[in-house]
């Protein structure tokens, strides 16, 4: 297997970016990454792109943008997998190099929620189950039941159930969700690209926000941001050939094992996952990624993790599924401050998805942030310790897709 490194990272400023159009937003991240890598645009041999097209309302938007990102006349591949898409694009870019087909590949993913006239991410999220809901109406669902389904949907649907499931298995309380959300806002205040920043935010501040649907508060919910994130990969030979002398982040293992969609009673296929906090797919993805990376004890060998957690319970849950804590115990670590920037095992020092969620960008942003930690370029939110290995995770679909990427400070031998 070929060694592949991340030699450059770029992010657009995330927020409600009404000042630019979708192509300009993507270009902002792309050219920042090219500059960061210190290469010429001609050095890039191929592209990996993706977003969730329903959010921005353009079908196959990358075709419109190809010549904004220097991809004209070059190979470009597109993937899309829901919330995971950023992670999936990162994996695609990696495989494009690892396959031996190309030496330098640029991977970019993005989302521009503010282009939708509907509030937040309504259009995109509603249409995940739109066909199924339409069928349920046909077979006699009344408006009351429809509204009730929307009630949960407004609080990000299945994620609320997942929070309840997680509470049931771990014995944690809502106050722990408050703590995680407060940490996200605090960390985001140190990240210039983040959306919701709240210096010195406390769990009490979050606890004061209204309850959307028990056990989820308004303060637990991620924003709908606009943004784009980008990385540039190079093969080991290309790193030498390009004369890259700055620190780079090496990809040591990737995996993305698909689980079954969370069942709300309308699927025609599957295995009917009952407990949404089980996350077999996440466990398997982490296991395989570690195996490929040669990591035996993730808690000891990994120094920092960027977990895709739009809702705070997911940071707790996934940190267990990814093997950093025992099942049902992550909240204790949070109580002890273990996951703070200066803690023993920092999680989401960037503020994470809970503070900034431009869906397509979010998965890639985890990779960018993990790489920055390894390169020592995370500035104000750089963790104050030696970072040798970092994990970037993303989830998507109906809480069923997971991408895990292990990055390290040295190539695999």
Partner 1 sequence: MGVVRYEGLPFVARFRWNTGKIMEKFYGGFAERQILAAKCENCGYTVVPPRVICPKCSSKMNENNLVKLDGRGVVLSYTVVRKKLDGKGGFVTLDKPEVIAAVKLNGADSMIFAKIGDVDVEDIKSGMEVVPVWAEKPEGRLSDLLYFRPG
Partner 2 sequence: MGLIKEKYEKTMQVEGEWNTGAYRYKAPEGYLDEFVKNFRDRKIIGTLCTGCGRVYVPPREICARCFQKITEKVEVSQYGEVLAFLVSPPLEKGKVVIAGIDAVQAGFLKEGERIILAMVRFEGTSSSMVLPLLNAKPEDVRLGMRVKAVWAEKCKGALSDLLGVEPAFEVKFE
Partner 3 sequence: MKVAVIGYAVSNLEWDAEKTREETVFEVAKSALENAGVSREDVGTVISASTDFLDGRTISNCMLIGGGGAYLKDESKAEEDGMYAALYAAQRLMAGVHDIALAVSHTHSWIFNPHQVSQYMLEPWFDRQNDLINGITLAALQARMYMEKHGVDELDLAEVCVKNLRNAAKVPYALRKLHDITVEEILESEMFSDPLTELMIAPPCDGAAAVVLASENVAEEICENPVWIKGIGNSCDNYLRDRDLAKLNSLEIAARKAYRMAGIEEPFREVDVAEITERFAHQELMAYEALSFCREGKGRVLIEEGMTEVYGDMPVNPSGGALAGDPICATGMIRLIEAAKQIRGEAENQVDGCRTALAHAQWGLCAQKNLVFILGDEP
Positions that interact with partner 3 (CB under 8 A): 1-2, 21-22, 46-47, 50, 52-54, 57-60, 63-67, 71-82, 88, 91-92, 95-96, 98-101, 124-128, 130-132, 255-261, 267-271, 280-281, 284, 288, 292, 396-398, 400-401
Closest CB to partner 2 among 3 and 51?
51
Indicate the SS3 state at residue 303: coil
- Partner in contact with 278, chosen from partner 1, partner 3, partner 2, none, beta carbon below 5 to 8 Å by kind: none
DSSP 263: P
- Residue 197's binding partner out of partner 2, partner 3, partner 1, none, with CB under 5 to 8 Å set by partner kind: partner 2
Instruction: Answer for the pair 344, 352: CB distance below 8 angstroms, yes or no.
Output: no
> 112 vs 220, which CB is nearer to partner 1?
112
Q: How far apart are CA 228 and CA 364, in angstroms?
A: 8
Strand, helix or coil at 313?
A: helix
Q: Look at residue 70 and give the partner it binds from partner 2, partner 1, partner 3, none, a contact being a CB closer than 5 to 8 Å depending on partner kind.
A: partner 1
Beta strand ranges found along 312-400 (DSSP E): 389-396
The binder of 133, among partner 1, partner 2, partner 3, none, by C-beta within 5 to 8 A per type, is partner 1
- In the complex with partner 3, the residue whose CB is nearer, 73 or 243, is 73
Measured CA to CA, the distance from residue 169 to residue 164 in angstroms comes to 9
Residue count of the chain: 413
Of 147, 212, 143, 202, whose CA–CA distance to 175 is shortest? 202
CA 261 to chain centre: 18
- Interface residue with partner 1 among 5, 53, 68, 397 (CB under 8 A) is 68
User: Containing H/E element for 224?
Assistant: none
Q: Which residue, 60 or 134, has its beta carbon nearer to partner 1?
A: 134
CB of 82 to partner 1, least distance (A): 17
| 74, interface contact from partner 3, partner 2, partner 1, none, CB < 5-8 Å by kind | partner 3
Output the six-digit token pair for 331. Answer: 């909240």
SS3 assignment, position 374: helix
Lateral strand order in the sheet of 4-11: 46-50, 104-112, 226-235, 4-11, 249-255, 401-408, 389-396, 304-306
Residue of 226, 228, 215 lying closest to 180 (CA atoms): 215
**Residues in region 90-149 near partner 1 by CB under 8 A:** 112, 114-118, 123, 126-127, 130-131, 133-135, 137-138
From partner 3, partner 1, partner 2, none, which one binds at residue 204 (CB under 5 to 8 Å depending on kind)? none
Would you say 45 or 278 has its CB closer to partner 1?
45
> For residues 240 and 256, what is the distance between their CA atoms, to the nearest angstrom?
29
Backbone φ, ψ for residue 361 (5° rounding): -75, -30
Q: Which of residues 203-242 bind partner 1 (CB under 8 A)?
A: none
CB of 88 to partner 1, least distance (A): 23
269: which residues sit within 8 A by CB, 6+ positions away?
none
Report the nearest approach of partner 3 to the CB of residue 143 (Å). Answer: 22
Nearest to partner 2 of 90, 221 (CB atom): 221
Nearer to partner 3, 167 or 405 (CB): 405
Interacting residues toward partner 1 by CB under 8 A: 17-24, 27, 31, 41, 54, 56-57, 67-70, 72, 112, 114-118, 123, 126-127, 130-131, 133-135, 137-138
């Amino acid at each position: 297997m070929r060694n592949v490194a991340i030699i450059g990272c770029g992010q657009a400023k995330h927020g409600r970016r009404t000042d630019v159009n979708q192509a300009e937003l993507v270009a902002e991240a792309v050219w920042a990454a090219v500059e960061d890598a210190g290469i010429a645009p001609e050095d890039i041999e191929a592209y990996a792109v993706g977003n969730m097209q329903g959010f921005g309302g353009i079908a196959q938007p990358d075709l419109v943008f190809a010549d904004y990102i220097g991809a004209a006349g070059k190979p470009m591949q597109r993937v899309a997998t829901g919330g995971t898409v950023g992670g999936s694009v990162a994996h695609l870019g990696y495989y494009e190099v690892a396959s031996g087909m190309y030496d330098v590949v640029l991977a970019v993913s993005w989302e521009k929620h503010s282009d939708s006239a509907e509030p937040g991410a309504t259009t995109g999220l509603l249409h995940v189950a739109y066909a199924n809901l339409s069928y349920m109406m046909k077979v006699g669902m009344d408006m009351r039941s429809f509204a009730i389904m929307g009630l949960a949907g407004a609080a990000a649907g299945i994620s609320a159930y997942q929070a309840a499931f997680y509470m049931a298995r771990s014995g944690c309380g809502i106050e722990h969700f408050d703590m995680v959300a407060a940490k996200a806002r605090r960390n985001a205040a140190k990240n210039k690209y983040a959306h919701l920043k709240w210096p010195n935010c406390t769990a009490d501040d979050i606890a004061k926000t209204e309850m959307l649907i028990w056990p989820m508060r308004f303060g637990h919910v991620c924003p709908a941001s606009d943004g784009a994130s980008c990385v540039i990969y190079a093969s080991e030979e290309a790193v030498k050939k390009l004369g890259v002398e700055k620190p780079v982040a090496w990809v040591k293992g990737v995996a993305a094992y698909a689980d079954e969609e969370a069942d709300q009673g309308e699927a025609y296929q599957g295995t009917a996952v009952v407990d949404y906090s089980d996350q077999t797919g996440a466990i398997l993805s982490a296991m395989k990624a570690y195996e490929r990376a040669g990591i035996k004890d993730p808690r000891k060998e990994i120094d920092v993790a960027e977990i895709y957690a739009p809702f705070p319970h997911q940071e707790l849950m996934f940190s267990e599924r990814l093997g950093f804590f025992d099942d049902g115990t992550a909240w204790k670590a949070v109580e002890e401050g273990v996951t703070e920037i200066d803690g023993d095992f920092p999680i989401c020092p960037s503020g994470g998805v809970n503070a900034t969620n431009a869906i397509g960008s979010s998965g890639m942003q985890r990779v960018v942030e993990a790489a920055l930690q390894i390169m020592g370029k995370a500035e104000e939110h750089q963790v104050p310790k030696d970072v040798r290995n970092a994990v970037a995770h993303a989830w998507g679909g109906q809480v069923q897709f997971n991408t895990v990427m292990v990055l390290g400070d040295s190539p695999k031998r």
